[in-house]
Amino acid sequence: MGNREGGNPRYSFVIPVYNEERNLGELYRRLDGLSDRLDGEMEWVFINDGSRDQSLAFLRNLHQQDSRVTYISLARNFGQQIALTAGLHFAQGEAVIIMDADLQDPPEVALMMIERWQEGYQVVYAQRTKRHQEHWLKRFYAYVFYRLLQRLAHVDIPLDSGDFCLMDRQVVEVLNHLPERNRYLRGLRSWVGFAQTSVRFERSPRFAGDRQYTFTKSLSLAIDGLVSFSKVPLRLATYTGLCAALVALIMAGMVLYWRIVAPDSPVTGLATILIAVFFLGAVQLVSIGILGEYIGRIYEEVKGRPLYVVSEVGDRGESKA
Ligand code: UDP
Ligand code: MG
């Protein structure tokens, strides 16, 4: 175990942790199982994302016992994407592997990724072929979302790939220097380019505990993804506006025609007017909402606050082992 003196580890595992006390023990065992199957040293960077259970205590303990375990503890819950960003800043390895703490991303798949990395690929992302025991509704909206994103985004974001991936140091450096606050990692990862490939795997069920993502969190992640990688929603607003204007013009023409050419025809005004008003109102509200999404992001960027606040660090080289 004792290492470090010789410089940076070859492999870093970056793992966000939010209330995962029941998974960490098993995760540690599984990661430890990889150690003699790898050709270099590992470090495990756990990011405690403001957990309210004993996760942090558990990490402190592990860190004391095993010098491969490092951790950063964020001052509150910042969300998985920010936690990952913090982890990427902190990781030292030549290859950095991102995965979830709940064992839905099997550590053994990392071995397959590492093989591809050794073949020369700089980004190896995992594509799920199956999702075990996830609710059909979640599977359904994940399915729709990934396809929507692929159609709308101006970079090619691969289907059904989550955050689980391996990235070369060179790629991590680029990501670390991206200035934006809005971190949709799987999009940024595609955006950077480099030699990319995928490995396929079946997503396991959670080992223990409940999903930390609520529906609203997932939805907000989805909107983040769409808005930071596509201007199509803005354009959609413009087009809808244009169409509405066209419809209004045609209707005006019809009314005028009836008034002049066929003055006897019964043109009932009220219903038409109501429909038109409601329709236009809806179009305007939606368009303002879409504008707001983008302006809100500009606002976030301009404020220039740090992405996260660290309250505690368990650095390398401190522990006894
Ligand atoms: N997570 C986090 N902060 C959060 C929510 C989740 O760091 O606010 C971590 C969580 O501990 C896990 C990973 O992100 O390691 C994925 O979360 P989860 O399993 O709830 O999401 P799912 O796998 O269902 O997409
Ligand atoms: Mg999970």
Cα–ligand 2 centroid distance for 210 (angstroms): 8
Cα(212) to ligand 1 centroid in Å equals 5
Q: Tell me, what's the ipTM?
A: 0.92
Q: What are phi and psi of 310, to 5 degrees?
A: -95, 130
Burial of 221 (0-12, 13-18, 19+ CB in 10 A): middle
Distance CA 131, CA 152 (A): 24
Burial class (CB in 10 A: 0-12, 13-18, 19+), 55: buried
Predicted pLDDT at 299: 79
Q: From CA 124, how far away is CA 117, in angstroms rounded?
A: 7
Ligand 1 pocket check: which of 76, 102, 135 to mutate, most ligand atoms within 8 Å of Cβ? 102
Q: What lines the ligand 1 site, CB under 6 Å? A: 16-18, 20, 49, 77, 79-80, 83, 100-102, 104, 211-213
Quote the pLDDT of residue 221: 79
- Cβ-Cβ contacts under 8 Å for 168 (sequence gap 6 or more): 94, 95, 96, 117, 122, 123, 194
> What are the DSSP calls for 88-139, one per residue?
HHH---SEEEE--TTSSS-HHHHHHHHHHHHTT-SEEEEEEEEETT--HHHH
Looking at residue 321, its pLDDT comes to: 46
3 alpha carbon – ligand 2 mean position (Å): 31
Taking CB atoms within 8 Å and a gap of at least 24, the contacts of 239-244 are: 240/283, 240/286, 240/287, 241/283, 241/287, 244/279, 244/280, 244/283
For the stretch 124-152, pLDDT in tens is 998 887 766 677 777 787 888 877 777 77
Report whether pLDDT(319) > 60.
no
Model confidence at 3: pLDDT above 50:
no
Phi, psi angle pair for 160, to nearest 5°? 55, 30
